[in-house]
Amino acid sequence: MARFASKPGQPSGAGVGLRSKYHRDFATGKPKVSWLEIVSENYLGLDGRGGRALELLLQIREHYPVVMHGVSLSLGSVDPLNLDYLLQLKRLKSVTSASWYSDHLCWTGVGGENLHDLLPLPYTMDALQHLCPRIHKVQEVMGERLVLENVSSYLTFAHSEMTEWEFLSTLTRRTGCELLLDVNNVYVSAINHSFDPREFLNGIPQHTVRQFHLAGYSDNGTHLVDTHDHPVWPPVWSLYREALLRFGPIPTLIEWDDRLPPLDGLLEEAAKAEILMEAYGNPNARGASALAEVGHHPS
């Protein structure tokens, strides 16, 4: 695997999420993967002052590029931004030399309470006016562009005034933020809300996408749910091919958070992503057979 050259600080190709289950694998060996993504909150409070988790991360970081991915920024909340939290993120990014920091375009709580869920927003001008100054503030504190992920959703707001992709495009234009395009989330939301996921991809400006996510979903009979507990399903691989054709070989992360497989199973998913990146991310080498090489239906 790892056919895309990478060095610490410059992710390319396909990476995997570093979960505690895999710490020993990465600390005692050098598994062949291009880069790693960490969940920021798992390391907050450990910024340079010790702690076994951070020690292991810094050892691992010597051999792999790392990016930070948060789950508690809560940009859409009416609560004030948590400056202490942002400063902790900034310190962690400095200590780990992470290449970039991302979080979700959503809200996660109110009144100081974290609901530990990624809740959707209405796509309105009022929501844009609320979000833009908050994004500017985060970028000011962090000293760099914020990378925002589209979340999966299971309901829509009757008073939304635009599509999700129009909302995201306007947000990037007004704030200069970038996008973490979660291809699985696009597919999940498209099925749940009956829109064409390719229209979503085509509505996103090509220069705004910094990273892709791929993951597995669950089907509960009435909705698809973004559970991160399966291999990537064939329809998502197919949509990923479309994303590569539009955006190029953007660094791609395999997300898996529950019912974790042995590391080899996770690395196999990353290897499949790199096969597609080579075939469809390069305009001079878009092989029509790559999907057949990676297509599967997890049991």
Judge whether residue 11 has pLDDT over 70: yes
116-125, 143-152, 165-174, 199-208: least confident range: 116-125
3-class SS at 179?
strand
Taking residues 287-294, report their average pLDDT.
46
Closest CA to 13 of 282, 293, 297, 235: 282
Taking residues 162-178, report their average pLDDT.
98
Phi and psi dihedrals of 238, rounded to 5?
-65, -45
Of the pLDDT bands very low, low, confident and very high (cuts 50, 70, 90), residue 7 is: very low
The model carries a pTM of 0.90
Judge whether residue 113 has pLDDT over 80: no
pLDDT tens digits, one per residue of 246-257:
999 999 999 999
- Rounded distance, CA 177 to CA 146, Å? 5
Question: What is the domain partition of the chain in residue ranges?
Answer: 14-294
- Rounded distance, CA 54 to CA 46, Å? 6
Higher pLDDT, 245 or 110: 245
Count of CB atoms situated within 10 Å of the CB of 200: 24
**Percentage of residues in the chain having pLDDT higher than 70:** 89
Token duo for residue 127: 């929501």
- pLDDT value at position 53? 86
pLDDT tens digits, one per residue of 53-86:
888 999 999 999 999 999 999 999 999 999 999 9
Burial readout 182-198 (b: 16 or more C-beta within 10 A, e: otherwise): bbbbbbbbbbbeeeebe
Judge whether residue 236 has pLDDT over 90: yes
Which CATH number applies to 14-294: 3.30.70.20, 3.40.50.12160, 1.10.510.10, 3.20.20.150?
3.20.20.150
- pLDDT value at position 46? 59
Question: Contact 218/258 with Cβ under 8 angstroms?
Answer: no
- pLDDT value at position 108? 81
Judge whether residue 6 has pLDDT over 90: no
Question: Mean pLDDT score of the chain, rounded to an integer?
Answer: 90
- pLDDT value at position 4? 40
Taking residues 40-56, report their average pLDDT.
77
Judge whether residue 290 has pLDDT over 90: no
Question: Contact 166/204 with Cβ under 8 angstroms?
Answer: no
